[in-house]
Amino acid sequence: MRLSGRVAVVTGAARGIGAAEAIRLAQEGANVAVVDLSAEAAEETVEAVEAAGAEALAVACDVSSAQQVEAAFEEIANRFGRIDILINNAGVLRDNLTFKMSEDDWDTVLDVHLKGSFLCSKAAQKYMVEQEYGKIVMTSSIVALGNRGQANYSSAKAGLQALARTLALELGRFNINVNAVAPGWIETEMTKEAAERAGMSMEDMKERFAKNIPLKRFGRVEDIANVVAFLVSDDASYISGE
């Protein structure tokens, strides 16, 4: 129960890594705002958070819209009275080789991952600065330094590492820690969709890529949730900008 009395916001928490993070933070004692494109989609995670003994709030919000983000954080702060933890996790893929990538594919990915994390961090830090307490985690990726067919995604993920470091520098004096996680291959709907687009089943993809992974397997959503739970706990109070 390292997060007893804390209020966490997890974006893109209806499924996948975000859902696992919301549940893990609840198991550590935090109340959780489950943010996703629709409140209905967030319902399953809300039930799991409540089953873990915490309070949950489903919040419909497109993180790439400044107006929606502002309203969402106001609603969350009104409901719980504070905002201690923000996990910027919402994401989408629009993979293509650069010569075939549309402007819309570029904008969508940059807007959801990078602009979305900027907008949510900006909204959350207002409360965190007042409290002189806060933890922010960005979700980067192992492909942040480039990957074939992912000019948009890799660029956004590299940007998130820069954003984490910049916010760590700006907000450290207010006792706010900002870090990024950069997962490798994790088995989720996003990965399944990527496999299907490449004409492979999830099982084929796992077999093909696991060979080059030191642990010889894909990650589970809980593997990321466990690291994030550590990073937002006071066990990690001297880790920032990493």
Q: Which residues bind ligand NAD (CB under 6 A)?
A: 11-12, 14-18, 36-37, 62-64, 89-92, 112-113, 116, 139, 141, 183, 185-186, 188-191
CA atoms within 13 A on the CB side of 76: 33
Contact of 18 with 10, CB cutoff 8 Å: yes
Could you tell me whether strands 56-60 and 134-139 are parallel, antiparallel, or unpaired per DSSP bridges?
Answer: unpaired
What's the CA gap between 23 and 123, in Å, rounded?
A: 23
Which one, 24 or 113, has the nearer CB to ligand NAD? 113
Which one, 147 or 175, has the nearer CB to ligand NAD? 147
**Least distance between ligand NAD and beta carbon 199 (Å):** 18
219 by Cβ neighbours in 10 Å (0-12 / 13-18 / 19+) ranks as: middle
**Least distance between ligand NAD and beta carbon 49 (Å):** 15
3-state helix, strand, coil in the chain (%, to 5): 55, 15, 30
Which one, 55 or 223, has the nearer CB to ligand NAD? 223
Nearest in space to 77 (alpha carbons), one of 13, 134, 22, 19: 134
**Least distance between ligand NAD and beta carbon 163 (Å):** 13
Is residue 153 annotated as a catalytic residue, yes or no? yes
Which one, 131 or 145, has the nearer CB to ligand NAD? 145
Which residue's CB comes closest to ligand NAD? 16
**Least distance between ligand NAD and beta carbon 125 (Å):** 19
> 11 phi and psi, to 5 degrees?
-90, 150
- The single residue of 127, 133, 153, 238 carrying the catalytic annotation is 153
Contact of 17 with 188, CB cutoff 8 Å: yes
**Least distance between ligand NAD and beta carbon 93 (Å):** 7
Which one, 147 or 166, has the nearer CB to ligand NAD? 147
Nearest in space to 6 (alpha carbons), one of 83, 78, 87: 83
Q: Which amino acids are annotated catalytic?
A: 153
